[in-house]
Amino acid sequence: MSGRAALFDMDGTLVDSTEVVETLWTEFGARHGIEPARILSYAHGRQSRDIVARFLPETSVDAATAALLEEELNRLEEIKPVPGAPEFLRRVAAQVPVAIVTSAPRRLAEARMAAAGVPIPDVLISGDDVRTGKPAPEGYLLAARRLRIAAAACLAFEDAEAGLAAAMTAGAFTVVVGDHESPRANALPRLPDFTNVSVSGSAGAVTISSTRDAPVTRREPRRP
- Of the candidates 11, 16, 50, 159, the residue annotated as catalytic is 11
Q: Does 57 share its domain with 101?
A: no
For the chain, count helices (H), then strands (E): 9, 11
11 in active site:
yes
**Do residue 97 and residue 63 come from a single domain?**
no
User: Distance (Å, rounded) from C-alpha 25 to C-alpha 2?
Assistant: 36
Q: Are residues 92 and 156 in the same domain?
A: yes
Residues 34 and 122 in one domain: no
Same domain, 126 and 194: yes
**Mind listing the pLDDT tens digit for each residue in 75-114?**
999 999 999 999 999 999 999 999 999 999 999 999 999 9
Do 104 and 175 share a structural domain? yes
144-173: buried (b, 16+ CB within 10 Å) or exposed (e) per residue? beebebbbbbbbbbbbbbbbbbbbbbbbbb
pLDDT of residue 198: 95
What pLDDT does 214 receive? 45
Partners of 101 in the beta sheet?
A: 125
Count the domains in the chain: 2
Evaluate whether 124 touches 110 at the Cβ level (below 8 Å).
yes
Residues 94 and 203 in one domain: yes
Residues 131 and 142 in one domain: yes
pLDDT at res. 212: 66
Q: What is the pLDDT of residues 178-207, one digit of tens each?
A: 999 999 999 999 999 999 999 999 889 999
Lowest pLDDT segment from 9-23, 111-125, 129-143, 147-161 = 9-23
Q: Is residue 222 part of a domain?
A: no
pLDDT attached to residue 159: 96
Look up 213 and say whether it is catalytic: no
Backbone angles phi, psi at 99, to 5 degrees: -145, 155
Dihedral angle at the C-alpha atoms of 149, 151, 155, 158, nearest 10 degrees?
Answer: 130
Asked which of 73, 95, 111 is the last residue of a domain, the reply is 73
Q: Report yes or no on 220 lying in a domain.
A: no
Task: State which residues form the domain around 193.
Answer: 2-16+79-210
User: Could you say which of 9, 16, 50, 159 is catalytic?
Assistant: 9
